[in-house]
Amino acid sequence: MLIPTIVLGVLAAVCVLLAYQKGVYISGLKSGGTMLLQILPLLVFAFIIAGIIPLLIPQELISRWVGAESGFGVS
């Protein structure tokens, strides 16, 4: 996870620098902040669900749904 985080951080910094040169970085940062505030609650709830589902559903059932033997088995 470290490499993708670094890559995204560098891309974000380059975008901010390019926007700064054009004089539109404040508008871009405000737009990004608005998107963050809209999406953040959804992400929090999604991570809560993702953390609890494996505790509520038996591992065998999950393996049958998404494991190697899942699907129609058509050869």
**Mean pLDDT on 60-74:** 75
Output the CA torsion sign for 42, 47, 49, 50.
positive
Distance separating alpha carbons of residues 20 and 48, to the nearest angstrom: 37
Task: Give the list of residues 6+ apart from residue 54 with CB closer than 8 angstroms, or none.
Answer: 62
Give the closest residue to 17 by CA, choosing from 28, 6, 3, 7: 28
Residue 12: per-residue pLDDT: 96
CA atoms within 13 A on the CB side of 39: 6
pLDDT of 75 above 70: no
